[in-house]
Amino acid sequence: MMRMLTTMLMLGCLGGTAALGQPALDSLWPNADGMTFEYDFSYEDLQFGDAFAGPASLALNGTIMTPGGLAQVLVGQHVSSGLKKAGSPPALPGLLAAVWRIRTDLRPVIEARFSSLKTRSSWLPLFLHDGYFMKTPDTIEMWQDGWAHSTWTYLRGEPASGMSFTHQLVPELADDIFLHGTVTSTDASVVTANGTYTGAVRVDYLIDMGINAFTNESGDPVGMAHGEIQGHVYYVPDVGPVAMLQEAVPFVWIDCGEEPCPSFMTEWLDTVVETMSLSLARTPVGNADSSWSELKAMYR
């Protein structure tokens, strides 16, 4: 009996040590007002022949009230090529532009419902993006103008390897578009432009874009396709998000029944058509080190 009690106490101590060794959710994204994260950003689009690279930044700049409570304004800025190719997404916020691109069947609904959104954020990545940042004891999430619900989840719950979450995206448009997040490591090493970090939390993200139903000019069914956006972010305790990879695959699988699928589907089958990456360029700083006006000057 005594031996069993001793064993149980030892296991309890070990369990407590492991729990204490887990990184805390709060530490994975420091969010003091004025905190600025500077990155090296790269972008490549095979479909529209666009590619560029340069500086990027995300800066916490003041607060705003949302339907979910008080949030911080997270301002994003990065270089761009300035190209506007025929067939590329119209002036829409990032997530809507991504849905517009992959879910061609939803384009009329998006354009009709969100025609009042005249400006598109200059920030392209989704797995790290701007908007209204909210961190609670249980969640790190985002809100956006014009939405009555949170629009994105970065993390939910204290991170532990294998834990996962699901967030339904744009329910106003479709019932089959979901963000899935999975913690795949709590002690990862990652190489960035600012050096190598250890003890990082890696979160894999996948946006399931649902089923895209294609029709011809007469409105007759042509086929179906399933698209995804996949990638990951590394978060370092007391530093924040240090690296991101995001890849879009509009045609993970296609199905045209007994008829052959058209070439615009087959030529891009299981192909990454758009790739974005962010790599921390220097240790995050506050307003005292780099003003917002100085950061904006980097992109002129």
pLDDT for 15: 36
11-41 per-position pLDDT tens digit? 333 333 334 568 999 999 999 999 999 999 9
Q: Which of 25, 29, 74, 60 is nearest to 239 (CA)?
A: 29
Instruction: Identify whether the C-beta of residue 96 lies closer than 8 Å to the C-beta of residue 117.
Output: yes
pLDDT top residue among 107 and 90: 107
Residue 195 DSSP class: E
171 pLDDT band (50/70/90 cuts)? Answer: very high
- Cα distance between residue 259 and residue 216, in whole Å: 13
Instruction: Identify whether the C-beta of residue 157 lies closer than 8 Å to the C-beta of residue 186.
Output: no
Name the pTM for this structure.
Answer: 0.87
- What is the mean pLDDT of the segment spanning 70-74? 97
Strand partners, 191: 196
Extract the tokens encoding 56.
Answer: 């990027």
**Looking only at Cα atoms, what is the longest distance across the chain?**
80
- pLDDT of residue 177 exceeding 70, the answer is yes
- What SS3 class is residue 229? strand
pLDDT for 14: 37
- What is the mean pLDDT of the segment spanning 127-142? 97
Sign of the dihedral through C-alpha 143, 144, 146, 152: negative
- What is the mean pLDDT of the segment spanning 97-118? 84
Instruction: Identify whether the C-beta of residue 41 lies closer than 8 Å to the C-beta of residue 280.
Output: no
Q: Which helix (H) or strand (E) holds 51?
A: strand 50-66
Please name the residue that has the structure tokens 């014009």: 146
pLDDT for 85: 63
Domain spans of the chain, in order of start: 25-297
Vertex 240: Cα angle to 51 and 124 (nearest 5): 25
Instruction: Identify whether the C-beta of residue 181 lies closer than 8 Å to the C-beta of residue 205.
Output: yes
Q: Is 93 exposed, middle or buried (0-12, 13-18, 19+ CB in 10 A)?
A: buried
Extract the tokens encoding 204.
Answer: 């894999």
Strand boundaries in 130-239, DSSP class E = 131-135, 139-143, 152-156, 164-168, 178-192, 195-215, 221-236
- Cα distance between residue 211 and residue 175, in whole Å: 10
Residue 143 one-letter amino acid: W
CB count, 10 Å around CB of 31?
14
Instruction: Identify whether the C-beta of residue 151 lies closer than 8 Å to the C-beta of residue 139.
Output: no
Instruction: Identify whether the C-beta of residue 70 lies closer than 8 Å to the C-beta of residue 91.
Output: no
Contacts for 122 with CB less than 8 Å, ≥ 6 apart: 76, 77, 78, 80
- Mean pLDDT taken over the chain: 86
- Cα distance between residue 254 and residue 261, in whole Å: 8
